[in-house]
Amino acid sequence: MNTFSRYPCTGIAVAVLVVITVLFTGCTSPTDQKIPAATGSPGVTAGQGTPAPAGTPVPATTHVSTSLPYGVTISVPSDWTRQDVLTSGVRDYGTTTLNIANFYSPNAIPGDKASYTSLSVDVDQNPGADFEKYFNTATIAVAKTYGNPATVEAHSYTIPVSGYKSYDLNFQTAEVKGDYIFTSTENGMYIFAFKVPNKPPAVRVFQKEFVDMYQSIRINPPTVVVTQHR
């Protein structure tokens, strides 16, 4: 598996350094139209719940395909814990979205209950038409959530997810690393927020799984609204 801050993906555009204090300018104008999917095999906010205790270790290559509401399918390691949510709230990227589900890896460090990787799967059904503005706003919000421009290092990448154009916000501070993927579809914005404590054993788990997980994502946005939990 490739390093955290750089990973190959066929069809990826050139990485663009994001300076938090100015708007993201490296994106082309999104059209919410599908683009060819990648070929080949390249390399949450706080309070979203506590992962279940780690069970018997299984090979890292063992994955299970999981279907979620709002037309999302993703393959996750079989020892990760799933938490179904379907509630709305303000996220750490500054927008009120529907949290569809969360996933948690086992603790990477024995005895450290905060050494797990988390994945939050969200959807915003009214994101507006300006993808760049949405992504810029999210980038600035993440910087405010986790520090300030002097302490948050961030990069952005254009990647295909399930054939849809997507932007990946790759960031880190002394305490946390994250990859937040924003995918614009004809029926809303999907956000896949991977986050991990900036601790070497936990980061290694994240690096091992991230690319395979995001490349497994399939989105078939529903035309019928799914009932939210109240």
pLDDT tens digit string along 176-204?
A: 999 999 999 998 999 999 999 999 999 99
Structural domain contains residue 73 = yes
* Structural domain span for residue 208: 18-27+63-219
Over residues 216-221, mean pLDDT: 92
pLDDT higher at 82 or 53 = 82
Task: Give pLDDT, residue 34.
Answer: 34
Reported as a pLDDT band with limits 50, 70 and 90, residue 223 is: low
Task: Give pLDDT, residue 149.
Answer: 62
Q: Is 128 left (phi over 0), alpha (psi -120 to 50) or beta?
A: left
Structural domain contains residue 185 = yes
**Does residue 22 register a pLDDT over 50?**
no
Reported as a pLDDT band with limits 50, 70 and 90, residue 221 is: confident
Structural domain contains residue 107 = yes
Task: Give pLDDT, residue 61.
Answer: 54
| Sign of the dihedral defined by the CA atoms of residues 46, 91, 167, 229, in that order | positive
For residue 68, give the CATH number of its domain. 3.40.1000.10
Task: Give pLDDT, residue 65.
Answer: 94
CA distance 200 to 72: 30
Over residues 14-40, mean pLDDT: 36
When divided into structural domains, the chain yields a total of 1
Structural domain contains residue 33 = no
Structural domain contains residue 224 = no
Over residues 78-107, mean pLDDT: 96
Over residues 122-137, mean pLDDT: 95
Structural domain contains residue 118 = yes
**Does residue 155 register a pLDDT over 90?**
no
**Mean pLDDT (the chain, rounded):** 77
Task: Give pLDDT, residue 32.
Answer: 37
| Lowest mean per-residue pLDDT among 26-40, 110-124, 146-160 | 26-40
Structural domain contains residue 129 = yes
Structural domain contains residue 37 = no
Task: Give pLDDT, residue 49.
Answer: 42
Reported as a pLDDT band with limits 50, 70 and 90, residue 44 is: very low
